[in-house]
Amino acid sequence: MRAMAWISGPDEAEPDVQALFEADREALGFVREYTRVFAHRPAVYAAWAQLNGAVKASMDLRTYELATVAAARRLRSSYCCLAHGQVMLRRGMLDADGLRCAVADEPTDQLSERDRAVMALADAVAAGAADMTDEHLAPLRALGVPDDEILSVVLAAAARCFFSTVLDAVGAQPDRDFLELPDAVRRALVVGRPIAGEVAPPA
């Protein structure tokens, strides 16, 4: 059973759609559900990829992934939490227990003070930027992080708000390959919609 969104699939005869699907199949062996969603608007997907790529290029990968996971957690985006948690595991940024603690906001020696300040700022952006004050930036400034790097954290979190919101607004579920994650990590990263084929936990 593959993930299904509430909107119908795009016209696979369209060359732009074919190109997107083939890229996923070559890289993964299947087409991700988020690709099926955005394939309705290939130009938007391309613009998103360009924007997100520029944001990502402005910061180190660990900071980007921590900010992204923190924003996705606040947005209750299982899809993005799972995808970026999986990246952190595969690249050895955190081990399974460290990732679980990071998402659950529990103590772990795998997160530095800077890491936690990055996640706190990204969380605040995703929670509601209109409620923020200069004090939300203060922890990173106190650690000597320059304003341009602080802005990169804000940009990563704000960009995640767009992507995660689109997926949840059309009911896109995380793909079944995320079931391969360690049980404790998977449970921690499913913060909203269940993985395709899984039963949602009781409220």
Q: Which amino acid is at 130?
A: A
C-alpha to C-alpha distances, 165 to 8, 160, 162, nearest whole angstrom: 18, 8, 5
Give domain status of residue 74, yes or no.
yes
Q: Rounded to an integer, what distance in angstroms lies between the CA atom of residue 136 and that of residue 92?
A: 29
> Quick check: 165 pLDDT over 90?
yes
Mean pLDDT computed over 73-83? 98
The count of structural domains within the chain is 1
Give domain status of residue 18, yes or no.
no
The answer to whether residues 39 and 13 touch, using CB atoms and an 8 Å cutoff, is no
Task: Determine what percent of the chain is predicted with pLDDT higher than 70.
Answer: 96
* pLDDT for residue 202: 41
Task: Determine what percent of the chain is predicted with pLDDT higher than 90.
Answer: 93
Give domain status of residue 40, yes or no.
no
The domain of 114 spans 60-189
Q: Rounded to an integer, what distance in angstroms lies between the CA atom of residue 130 and that of residue 169?
A: 22
The CATH number of the domain where 70 resides is what?
1.20.1290.10
Closest among 19, 125, 149, 131 to 75, alpha carbons compared: 125
Which residue's entry shows tokens 């059309």?
A: 170
Give domain status of residue 120, yes or no.
yes
Give domain status of residue 126, yes or no.
yes
* pLDDT for residue 197: 80
Instruction: Kindly tell me the burial class for residue 133, based on how many C-beta atoms sit within 10 Å of its own C-beta (0-12, 13-18, 19 or more).
Output: exposed
Burial 27-36 (b: 16+ CB within 10 A, else e): eeeebbbbbb
> Quick check: 141 pLDDT over 80?
yes
Q: Which amino acid is at 49?
A: A
Instruction: Express each pLDDT in 25-64 by its tens digit.
Output: 999 999 999 999 999 999 999 999 999 999 999 999 999 9
Closest among 202, 195, 199 to 174, alpha carbons compared: 195
Give domain status of residue 108, yes or no.
yes
> Quick check: 119 pLDDT over 90?
yes
- The DSSP code for 107 is -
Q: How many helices (H) and strands (E) does the chain have?
A: 10, 0
